[in-house]
């Protein structure tokens, strides 16, 4: 069950869009500072999220913590109808990286009414980045979240061999973020050869093993910077070989220098 600090309020809408993805479609994945919600109205979607691979079916809602890498792939033969929304709220307390819920008929109806209101009244452009959310849409979304709050988190983790290799690998990475681990060390921790490991990361992240590990380290470094640590201290604590190398990695992954992150 997800925890709310207060009765839920939508603070700000950053992005909203509805997609109809063909079978086999792959979204390369991203990380952002807002909360993301995915609702599958039809079809089956594989969701790589943090250290896990989820299977989201029709009627499923997936809530994703800010700063968590996620990537989608359509598994169903039929097209997948998906709503994606990025938003900000001060009222959600994330104990896990992601939550998955099977919506009942009342939740599905509220979600559909919300989508209808957004499409017809909120004047969103193709990418969903313009237009103001209406009072009705805001309230519909808040009611949906409050109903979801009462439901039990039911993550449908993929249990096939490759997804388990991925989970073991990312867990090992997260335990060693302050070290310069090698592909060989990650492969050994997952119990596979480097070739298989590289194939798994290409499938689930679209990145090389080391590129993904660097992404995790930089994401942790950004959290430390926001907690008030200096660039020099974070670089040292996270095990980067030099502050200059840390700055280059940070800029490549975040688009800004570590000195530009607000504490």
pLDDT digits (tens, 9 = 90+) for 33-68: 899 999 999 999 999 998 999 999 999 999 999 989
Residue from 28, 111, 105, 39 nearest 70 by CA: 28
Residue from 40, 28, 118, 34 nearest 72 by CA: 28
* Section 184-194 average pLDDT: 97
Domains of the chain: 3-149 (2.60.120.10), 161-255 (1.10.10.60)
DSSP letter for 157, please: B
Residues facing residue 72 across a β-bridge = 27, 47
pLDDT class for 130, splitting at 50, 70, 90?
low
Q: Following CA atoms 22, 26, 27, 30 in sequence, which dihedral angle do they give, to the nearest 10 degrees?
A: 160
For residue 170, how many C-alpha atoms fall within 13 Å in the half-sphere facing its CB?
Answer: 24
User: Which parts of the chain fold into alpha helices (H)?
Assistant: 105-121, 135-149, 161-175, 183-190, 194-204, 209-226, 231-237, 243-254
Q: Report residue 193 as tokens.
A: 């050869």
Return d(Cα 133, Cα 212) in angstroms, integer. Answer: 35
pLDDT in tens, 151-182: 999 999 998 999 999 999 999 999 999 999 99
pLDDT of residue 257: 87
Return d(Cα 156, Cα 154) in angstroms, integer. Answer: 6
* Section 91-117 average pLDDT: 94
Query: DSSP labels for 225-257?
Result: HHTT--HHHHHHHTT-S-HHHHHHHHHHHHSS-
pTM, rounded to two decimals: 0.89
Q: What Å distances lie between residue 166 and 91, 142, 143, 172, 182, CA to CA?
A: 31, 34, 36, 10, 15
Asked if 223 contacts 177 with a C-beta cutoff of 8 angstroms, the reply is no
pLDDT class for 2, splitting at 50, 70, 90?
confident
Q: What Å distances lie between residue 158 and 53, 167, 184, 242, 259, CA to CA?
A: 6, 10, 25, 39, 39
pLDDT of residue 4: 87
Mean pLDDT (the chain, rounded):
92
Return d(Cα 82, Cα 71) in angstroms, integer. Answer: 13
pLDDT in tens, 194-243: 999 999 999 999 999 999 999 999 999 998 998 889 999 999 999 998 89
- Compute the chain's Rg from CA coordinates: 19
Asked if 18 contacts 115 with a C-beta cutoff of 8 angstroms, the reply is yes
Residue from 241, 214, 244, 213 nearest 231 by CA: 244
Residue 91 dihedral angles phi and psi, to the nearest 5°: -105, 0
pLDDT class for 131, splitting at 50, 70, 90?
low
Angle (nearest 5°) at CA 174 between 25 and 193: 70
Residue from 68, 40, 65 nearest 55 by CA: 40
Task: Please provide the distance, in angstroms rounded to a whole number, between the alpha carbons at the two ends of the chain.
Answer: 31
């Amino acid at each position: 069950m997800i925890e709310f600090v207060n009765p839920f309020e939508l603070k700000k809408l950053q992005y909203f869009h509805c997609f109809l993805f063909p079978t086999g479609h792959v979204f390369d994945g991203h990380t952002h500072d807002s909360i993301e919600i995915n609702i599958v109205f039809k079809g089956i979607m594989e969701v790589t999220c943090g250290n896990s691979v989820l299977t989201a079916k029709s009627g499923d809602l997936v809530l994703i913590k800010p700063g968590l890498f996620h990537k989608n792939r359509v598994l169903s033969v039929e097209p997948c109808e998906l709503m994606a929304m990025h938003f900000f709220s001060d009222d959600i307390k994330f104990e896990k990286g992601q939550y998955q819920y099977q919506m009942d008929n009342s939740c599905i109806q509220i979600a559909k009414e919300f989508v209808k209101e957004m499409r017809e009244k909120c004047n969103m452009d193709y990418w969903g980045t313009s237009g103001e959310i209406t009072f009705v849409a805001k309230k519909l979304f808040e009611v949906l979240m409050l109903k979801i709050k009462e439901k039990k988190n039911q993550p449908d983790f993929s249990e096939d061999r490759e997804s388990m290799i991925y989970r073991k690998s990312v867990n090992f990475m997260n335990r060693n973020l302050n070290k310069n681990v090698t592909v060989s060390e990650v492969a050994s921790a997952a119990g596979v050869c480097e070739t298989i490991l590289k194939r798994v990361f290409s499938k689930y992240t679209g990145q090389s093993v080391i590129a993904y590990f660097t992404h995790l380290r930089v994401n942790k470094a950004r959290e430390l910077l926001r907690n008030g640590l200096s660039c020099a201290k974070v670089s040292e604590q996270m095990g980067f070989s030099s502050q200059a190398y840390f700055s280059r990695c940070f800029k490549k992954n975040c688009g800004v220098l570590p000195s530009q992150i607000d504490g």
